[in-house]
């Protein structure tokens, strides 16, 4: 009888070539170069502090707000945490994915709402799940080039209320109606449009435009290609929730700022998606995407989340001038991209060796790993790809594998599967958590990596600031 994984291969329509090659990525060994200090690229850029609102399941406590409310709250929380003078902040940049049309430049609206001067520029970037990573590196560029000495970078996502449009034919009709004179002519236009059987609504889909596949479908295909079982995914998801629960109870998630939501009696003080369960309970859930034999379920996937994050970045010189003791240096970073079908979620596997090489480090030099968890299977597939000489040589044009991160250093305070994943805000959470863990665990270097829609990915080296 065919195994569930082989059944999933059949139903997922995995590329035969990629499946064959992925199967050859399951065992190999190699060595890497000796370490040297990462290049600072001229000016030292530091993370002074990072904060975030509690990350909440969409449709819960934040449901009646707007994205700029969350972003404004993150900015105010950062101002309170750092006591920075707003006039010292020269630029604000935020990431987001699904934009609210009324506040399309949410960075500007949030900064004005938080009390920043009208003369403080602000703009919004979008790069799928690494949008706030892009916000941070945009800020780094401004600082490194001398355009600014202090920048706030952040991100926000609000999945409780996404823009739903009329269908295109109805939109076109509405625009023509404005130019059409006379009730009879307007009625004629309406009847003609309705006779064409237009789509009445267009709802944003979490799907790839180029392939038409939702990300969960791609994750199922990736798990089938790398032979990752359902039980492996459920065990990893349980690990994420258990570690996030422990970290939350221990007060380690100190980047969370309280949020008094208008009209809600209790102040929100913690994430509400952290729910340790059991393998037995998780195993009862059915396949969410490729039915009936897929292995991706609601339990081993990240969930739709509302939340915002913000961090204060400065040149080291400016931070010291203002009396701050930074949390970390932000060192080398890279962006990568690959096939958005078979390799949609393999950004970390491609980014990790590249950013280590740029920094002159090897895997054993890294004390803290913070990888974005889109799906448990996505994490496990990346780990297998990173541990394969075959994958390195045939897909990455490298002579040897980078190796697998030490799991005793990997996402020890939970991850996106448990804490939540507001698309535009996760990157700042990853970098802030990496910096906080370096301090808590007395490490020197952290590696942050993430995948994103479109087959893109990001990697960054974070170095602990001397204490």
Which residues belong to the active site? Answer: 129, 451
Give how far the C-alpha of residue 6 lies from the chain's centroid of Cα atoms, to the nearest Å. Answer: 30
For 331, residues 6+ apart whose C-beta sits below 8 A from its C-beta are 38, 39, 40, 359, 460, 461, 462, 463
What values do phi and psi take at 289, rounded to 5? -125, -65
d(CA 359, CA 351): 12
d(CA 121, CA 107): 9
d(CA 55, CA 426): 10
How far from 63 is each of 57, 70, 104, 157, 389, CA to CA, in Å?
A: 9, 11, 19, 12, 47
Answer whether 128's CB lies under 8 Å from 141's CB: no
Vertex 448 angle, CA 443 and 449, to 5°: 150
Strands 122-125 and 91-95: parallel
Strands 91-95 and 150-157: parallel
Which residue in the block uniquely carries the two structure tokens 């040897």?
400
Q: What is the CA radius of gyration of the chain?
A: 23
For 294, residues 6+ apart whose C-beta sits below 8 A from its C-beta are 8, 11, 12, 220, 287, 288
d(CA 331, CA 446): 10
Axis crossing angle, helix 183-195 with helix 168-179, rounded to the nearest 10: 170
Buried b (16+ CB within 10 A) or exposed e, 327-359: bbbbbbbbbbebebbbbbbbbbbbbbbbbbbbb
Axis crossing angle, helix 347-359 with helix 376-386, rounded to the nearest 10: 50
Answer whether 353's CB lies under 8 Å from 459's CB: no
């Amino acid at each position: 009888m065919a195994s569930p994984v082989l059944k999933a291969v059949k139903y997922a329509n995995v590329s035969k070539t990629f499946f064959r090659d992925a199967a050859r990525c399951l065992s190999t060994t190699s060595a890497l170069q000796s370490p040297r200090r990462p290049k600072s690229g001229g000016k030292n850029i530091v993370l002074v502090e990072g904060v975030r609102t509690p990350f909440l399941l969409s449709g819960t406590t934040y449901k009646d707000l707007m994205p700029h409310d969350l972003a404004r709250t993150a900015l105010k929380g950062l101002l309170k945490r750092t006591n920075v003078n707003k006039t010292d902040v020269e630029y604000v940049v935020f990431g987001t994915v699904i934009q609210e049309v009324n506040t399309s430049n949410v960075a500007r609206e949030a900064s004005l709402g938080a009390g920043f001067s009208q003369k403080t520029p602000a703009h919004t970037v979008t790069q799928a799940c690494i949008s706030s990573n892009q916000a941070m590196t945009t800020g780094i560029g401004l600082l490194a080039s001398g355009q600014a000495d202090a920048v706030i970078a952040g991100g926000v996502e609000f999945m409780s209320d996404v823009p739903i449009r009329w269908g295109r034919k109805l939109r076109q009709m509405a625009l023509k109606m404005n130019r059409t004179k006379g009730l009879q002519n307007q009625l004629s236009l309406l009847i003609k449009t309705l006779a064409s059987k237009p789509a009445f609504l267009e709802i944003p889909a979490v799907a790839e435009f180029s392939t038409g596949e939702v990300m969960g479908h791609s994750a199922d295909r990736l798990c089938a290609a790398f032979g990752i079982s359902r039980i492996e995914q459920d065990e990893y998801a349980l690990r994420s929730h258990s570690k996030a629960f422990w970290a939350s109870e221990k007060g380690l998630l100190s980047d969370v700022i309280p949020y008094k939501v208008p009209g809600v009696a209790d102040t929100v003080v913690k994430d509400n998606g952290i729910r340790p369960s059991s393998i037995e309970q998780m195993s009862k859930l059915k396949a969410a995407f490729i039915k009936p034999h897929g292995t991706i379920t609601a339990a081993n996937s990240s969930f739709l989340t509302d939340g915002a994050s913000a961090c204060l970045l400065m040149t080291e010189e400016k931070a010291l001038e203002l009396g701050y003791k930074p949390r970390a240096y932000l060192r080398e970073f890279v962006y990568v991209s690959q096939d958005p079908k078979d390799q949609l979620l393999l950004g970390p596997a491609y980014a990790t060796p590249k950013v280590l090489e740029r920094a002159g480090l090897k895997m054993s030099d890294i004390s803290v790993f913070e990888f974005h968890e889109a799906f448990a299977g996505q994490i496990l597939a990346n780990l297998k790809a990173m541990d394969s000489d075959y994958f390195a040589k045939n897909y990455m044009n490298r002579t040897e594998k980078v190796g697998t991160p030490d799991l005793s250093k990997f996402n020890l305070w939970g991850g996106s599967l448990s804490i939540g994943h507001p698309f535009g805000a996760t990157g700042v959470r990853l970098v802030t958590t990496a910096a906080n863990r370096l301090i808590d665990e007395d490490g020197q270097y952290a590696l942050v990596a993430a995948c994103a829609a479109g087959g893109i990915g990001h990697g960054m080296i974070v170095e602990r600031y001397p204490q």
